[in-house]
Structures are given as C-alpha cells and as structure tokens.
Chain A
C-alpha cells in the first residue's frame, strides 16, 4: 500500500507546475534523434526485404498465368528463348543440386574438421593466428574463386593434368571451388559453437579417462550441435545462392546434368545471364527471371525453416 502512495506522490510532484525538487525531468533531444535514427535503420531493412519479395512475386505471378506451375516445376527442357520455348526448370535445379551437393561434400568435413582442430586441439597462440586468416578467406570476392575454378581447376587440373573427359566447364570444378569458398563460413561458426561449450564438460570427460578425440566427438560436438547445424545451413544457403562461381565455371547450357563432369546452368547462373540480356520488361522471357528467382527464394526459405526445426529439436542446455 505504501508503495502505491509513494508512487502517487512522486507522480503528483512531477506533474505539479514546480516539478520535482530533486529529480527534475530534463528533455534530451539528442537521445530522441538517435532513437529515431536507429528505428529508421531497422525499419528500412524490413521494408527492403518486403520490397524484394513483392518485386519478385508480382512478375512471377504474371509468369504463372501463362505457364502452368506443374510444367515449370517438373518439365525437363529449359529453353525460354527458343522459338519453340519451353519452361521446365528441372535442368536448372539439377545443376544447382550438383554444384551444391559437391560443395557441401567438400565444405562440411573440411569446415567441421577445421573447427574441431581450432577449438579442441590448437594452442591458443595458433588459434589466435589461424582464425583471423580463415575469416579473411571468407572475404575473397567470389569472382576470384570463379576465375580460379575456370582457368585452373577445370582447364589445368582436370583437362591437362588428369586428362578427364570434360569440356570447358563442369559442375565438379564449380562445386569443388564453391566448397572451398564455404569452408571458412562453416568453420568459423562451428568453432564459435564448440568454444561456447563449457570447459567443465571437457574436464568431466577427461576425468573419466576419455581421450581428446572422444571428448571432442562424444561430448563437445553433440553439445554444440545446434550451432553446427546452423553453420551447415548457412553454408547450404550460400551454395544455393552463389552465382559468380557457377556462372563462370559450371556452364551456360541448361541441360539435365547426369554426372559431375558435365556442364550445366544453375538457377543463379541462368538469372545472371538472363538479367544481362535484352529481354523486354514485362515480356514472358523477362518474367521467367522472376519465377526462377522466386523458386530460389522459396528453396532457401525451406532450408532455413528445416534447420530451425532441427536446431530446436537438438538444442541442449548446458
């Protein structure tokens, strides 16, 4: 009761014309400006995202009034510019699946291995040097990786050294190099997750006669699994969305990809080349771009939602 009374008095004092004797209210205009600036920054981000979705959806809907959704999703011939046009997106999806799959085969073991090494084995001094180096690797422009994939991996390593039966492009070269590009992302985020596992769990394990490998694989990795899954998912999203490497090294012809040494155009690769073309705004060819874009967006969204579910199920407090 007394609390209410005190509050009442305080409120009365504040609202009285003379104001508070000790705690006079001050106006702080600077603070208000800052709050509004920050609020604007937050809202702008949201508005941009909404804008992107809308600008994708509107032309895409227009596309689907002309082309059957089933024909689009399950058709296996992609020839939007031919006289006898066909809009089956499967060739693009197979190419994306190949490059993404190959890149993950490279990036997940390497990234996780690097993370476990950095967090569980490396001496603090080694870690202090290696982790920033790893993160710098993540900052290399993808066009550089693309050039490397095209001119070195594909034409020198695959064709000259290994004499593989392959053309100027292959999903393997693009996938491998893309995998290398993703390693730092997976390694860095997984390492954060592993390092966050309390030391006491490692000590408890060691005190039971477990060696480092057992402690790492049976205690630390399971305890950090939600962070590791998050890292892998981010890697998947980057692989699906990566454009420059696949546009340069995977190929430009949209055909069903049956093997790693074949060339193939990915969804992003198609969008990059078509966006540079001279298709008329509002034409079917122009709208095709947005239909593929929307599909790409939906795919990444699904991957992210699945991962959120996995993380939720696996999360363990410690």
Chain B
C-alpha cells in the first residue's frame, strides 16, 4: 500500500489514497470499540473523560466512514478496468478526496472535544446533528453531498464515455440510489415517527439493499480479475442477485417499522419480505463457490493447477460469501419476525447481528479490494498469502465470531430476563445487565475484541508489506528461471 508505481491510471492512484485513509479509520473504529467494550465491563473507565455515548458514536461513525472511503476507493480502482478510460474528472476527484478527509478529521475532533452541551440550531449545524449513526453536523452533511456529487459525476461520465459493461451499469444505477438515499437523513420533521420513517430509508436501504448490491458488483469484478471468471456468467448472476436483493430488501424495510408508530400493515410486510431476505445471500454464497470451483476445474483440465492469481483477496472473498450469509442471513433471521423481534429489539442480539453482518458482508469484500489494489500497485502477477495474511484472516474472523457469540449470549439473557420475565421496564433493563451471564458475556466480548484488534494489526502490517515482499519474490523467481533457461 506504500506505492502505486505500477498503476497506469490516476483513478487507481486516487483509489490507493482512499484505501490508505480507510485503513486508518478502520483502526480508529476498533480502538473506539475496545474502549466501549471495556466500559461495558468497567463502567467507570474514562467516565466523564471519554463517555460511553461518545465512544460508541465514534465507533459506529468510523465504521460507516471507513467503509465509504473503501467503497469509493474500490469504484475508482475498477473504473479504468471496466470502462477502459481514465476517470474524466480526476482533478476534481483528487480535490474531493482531500476535502472529504479534512472534513471527516474535523468532525471526529469535534465529537471528541465537544462531548456534552445543550442542543440548539447552532449545535445541529456545527457539532452534532443528533440522529443515530448519521451524527455528522449539517455543514459536514452538505459537504459530503458535494463530494459524493463529484464522485458520482466521475463514475457516470466515465461510464458514458467508455465501455458500458453490465457490472458498471449496475454500479452506476446502484450508486445513484445509494447517494440519493443519503438525502433522506438530512431533514427533520416534528413528528418522531415520521422522522424515524425517513431515517430508516438511509440506514436500511443502504445496508440491506444498495450496499448489498454494491458487494455483488465488487464480487463480480473481483471474480473476473482473480480467477478469470467468464464475464457473461458473472454478470448474469449479478442481475439475478440485484433482482432478489431489491425484491426482498426494499420492502424488508418493514422490519424497522414494527415499533416506531407506523401503521400495523408494516408488521406483515416486514415479516414477509424479511423472511425472504436471506435467499439472495444464499445465491451470492453459491455464486462465489460455483465460479471458483468451475474455473479451477477448467484450469486443471488445461494442466494449470493455479487458477487464483491473488490468494489473499480470494480468501477474503470466500470469507465474504460465508460471512454475509452467517451474519446478515442467520443472525438477521434470528430476530427479524415481529413475534420474536418484540423481545429481541434493542438487546445485545442487535449488536451481535450488527458486528457479524458488517464484518461478514462488507469489511471482508473491501479488504479483498485492498489486496487487489496492492497487487496492481506493485505489478504482481500472482500474489500469495504470507504468514501475516493467514494470521490476520484467522484472528479477525475468530475474534468477530467470538464477539458475535458472546453478544448473542448477552442478548439471549436479556430476552429471557429483561423482556420475557420482567416485562421490559426500566428496572428490568438494569436487573438483566447485572446478572452473571450478561457480565461474563461482555467480558468475553472484550477478550474477542482484543483478538480482533490483533488481527487488524496483522492485516495493516500485511497490507503495508505484502506488495514489496511478493514482488521481490516474483523477481527472484523470474531471475532464477531465466538463469536456468
């Protein structure tokens, strides 16, 4: 990640910058997560210095922002490969990168240094907009929209100018929806139910519709690059996935409308479409494994045992196929139906699902894209896993799975004690949090959080060094082969 010497296009060099910042923000997200995890076990930790509410907010916002940086980076990286063209407004794109990075830095610093205070029109504009997950103050909101407009102009105009592949067609249409939905979180209404109604358009229609389609698009592109999958097959899968993801995901929105004061017909709509939401995840899971197996078979038939030209990226894509199904599918289906959700809503079940699905569905594929970019940046023909790659894979997957299991146990205890037994009142909330099962589960979550952080250290170390190591090895192998010949 330290060089982009072999990249021909400025767009791909810009992508490397996005990936670098994404990696830093990923680290920041995990540090904040560790602080929050410690505060669950030792509530006095950093009390009135760095409060739980602030650390949790920065933890979640850093997650969203590092993923957005990595997503933008991924698109800038794939644009020249897909369209055959340099991004048309690359200078604007570079300016937008620095503006966005500076704005994010200022927003995070304000979050950290101005933790407490009264809410006013000025605080909404300059400190914190107050809406969960989208806390960025209004000036930053408007700035983000401006930057995204520049980004979208670059993607759309390059697409119109160059080759219009199926992958880019889906990407362009999906990005339009993804960017447009952000606007739904930028206005307030006096009625809290109506306000939440629109807020969920951003949150749900991002993570359970447009982001999932984005993942499908990246997986399609990556499978062509990594294993040489046939474009026509991959694009056909992609269209089917888009159909299923939007078919179930858009009205799956109803599972967020169960308890916010919307009409009761949302219960039925939410239940039905949520129950169908895992189906495209099964299709995505099958798609990756089927394409891999088929291309491996073709390669072996031709006498070439190695079909994968980037094993770290492929390993993360396979992790994505499993993780998406496990985190978003199984952990989501656990508590998506209203009869169960009334008991699980807002317990640690939600946190378990959130951790496993964001990691499984999104972090994994974005990390795969980073490895793909490193391969391009160092001009490596065939990149293989190092010890650090294996350690980062093992520790992060084991850590996140461990956190999800621990949080599920905590959530299960809350469902039984706080909701089913004690009726879900104020006292019940605290009684459930003081029982040994909950406390021990939070302790294990902290341990697994540390394991995840160790995995991240290996990941960052690997991304910074694997390019140089692998290109040196390839050069020495090439020299040895030339000497033998």
A and B, one complex?
no
Q: Name A's B-contacting residues (CB within 8 A).
A: none
Q: Which residues of B contact A (CB under 8 A)?
A: none
